[in-house]
Structure 1
Amino acid sequence: MIVLHQENIKATLIELYNDAKNDKTRIIKGLVKSIIRPMQPEDFKHAYLSITEEQGLFLVELIKKNKFKNIVEFGTSFGISTLFLAQGALETKGRIITTELIASKAEKAMENFKKAEVSNIIDVRIGDAMQTLQNHKAPIDLLFLDGWKDLYQPLFNMLESNFHTNTIIYVDNANMTESRAFLKEVGRNDKYTLESIFDGKVVLIRIK
């Protein structure tokens, strides 16, 4: 059964990556709007902003290697990264909580999860992550940060009590200004170690 689910995930990912080939145009349109005002999430409601396949496969192995079961994702978008998380979670019998601000993106992601037949292990929450994850009390094995960058720090602070000695925080777009400020703040705490991968695009935060 797991093999069948894995094949469904791979087929869905192929479709999504094919559609995402037009992402540069969508991103440019969003950036053009930011010329006259600060960028807003709605500017990218049609853009995938997805992780690479290499990053996705790394996530799968990270979950399997560490036997992660409790996974929280900030920034569902259309669900590409979530599907990679699901590939790993299927092997560990884990579950994923993922949150997305833009309802139209979340709804499309849920369609993709249904197509891949992994909806049963994914809890999609629509809205501001500071609200949708506010009452989260369960341990977090893997926290995947890939949403609006100015929320990395407040989300980290809010969820920090759910971390344990084996928790890993995966920080995507770590080379962006807001992300660097967040990582600099975390790095001041001797409790954490930071590991840069993918040429600095990603940083893994581990607990000593």
Structure 2
Amino acid sequence: MTHTNTLADPRVETALSRMFALAEQDEATAARLGGLTPESTPHQELADIAAGIYMPISAEGGKLLYNLVRAIRPATVVEFGMSFGISTLYLAAAVRDNGTGRVVTTEMSKEKIAEARRTFAETGLDDLITVLEGDARETLADLEGPLELVLLDGWKDLCLPVLRQLEPLLRPGALVVADDVDQGEGLLKPYLDYVRDPANGYRCVTFPIEDGMEISCRL
């Protein structure tokens, strides 16, 4: 029996190594934000200012996402907040190895989208990835379900609105993963309060990888 592992593909390994190395400069690049927040600045403007910031998922977080997708075998994976596409590569690699499914991802920055599309083509995963440009609350409006896995890694104050929008499409047993739980306590608090309230139909666990990942199962 042949076991495929697209993460071991030299094209994917090279792309991930390159992007993780560039992401190490994020702290210096982020100084351009100058303390701007979604409360003071429109999300699109923030996205344009942050066009050079990778804001990546951790390598361990990426591996966890890969394993979740392999286990669930979702027909559709939705990602809110693609950035340069590091997490998207992990998701798409898992979809490729499952032999079925697709990844629908969202991003506001035109610069990041252009760069990510080049990377997806270089890695041979572009045929599995649909990139939606603009505000996810608008671009995901016509998405069809059912959905089995959703990654929320965009602007933290939008995680709850995006989840509520996608909620009718989640099948029982679907997983919703939110990144940077510890780092984003403030802006992410409404989201965490919502999914951790049993009355809203989720069972949650906080996974201690890097800045924390909240994994919520739709009951």
Normalising by the residue count of structure 2, what TM-score does the alignment of the two structures yield?
0.87
Q: CA–CA distance in 2 between the matches of 1:151 and 1:96?
A: 20
Q: CA–CA distance in 2 between the matches of 1:166 and 1:188?
A: 17
Q: CA–CA distance in 2 between the matches of 1:24 and 1:102?
A: 19
2:7–2:90 contact (8 Å) kept in structure 1: no
**What's 2:194 paired with?**
185
**What's 1:11 paired with?**
14
1:33–1:43 contact (8 Å) kept in structure 2: no
2:177–2:213 contact (8 Å) kept in structure 1: yes
Shift of 1:67: 2.0
TM-superposition CA deviations, 1:128-185 (whole Å, max 9, x none): 1011100112211110000011111111111101101120000012231121221102
Percent identity of the aligned residues?
26
Residues 153 and 5 of structure 1: is their aligned pair in 2 closer, same or farther, counting only changes over 3 Å?
Answer: closer
Residue identity in the other structure for 2:168: S
Normalising by the residue count of structure 1, what TM-score does the alignment of the two structures yield?
0.91
Shift of 1:6: 4.7
Q: How many residues of Structure 1 are paired with residues of Structure 2 in the alignment?
A: 206
1:73–1:98 contact (8 Å) kept in structure 2: yes
**What's 2:134 paired with?**
127
For the aligned residue pairs, the C-alpha RMSD in angstroms reads 2.0
Residues 4 and 149 of structure 1: is their aligned pair in 2 closer, same or farther, counting only changes over 3 Å?
Answer: closer
The counterpart of 1:156, out of the listed 154, 163, 176, is 163
2:6–2:94 contact (8 Å) kept in structure 1: no
Q: CA–CA distance in 1 between the matches of 2:90 and 2:6?
A: 15
**What's 1:25 paired with?**
28
Counterpart secondary structure, 2:78: strand
Structure 1 position 53 matched with structure 2 position 59: yes
Counterpart secondary structure, 1:165: strand
Shift of 1:186: 2.5
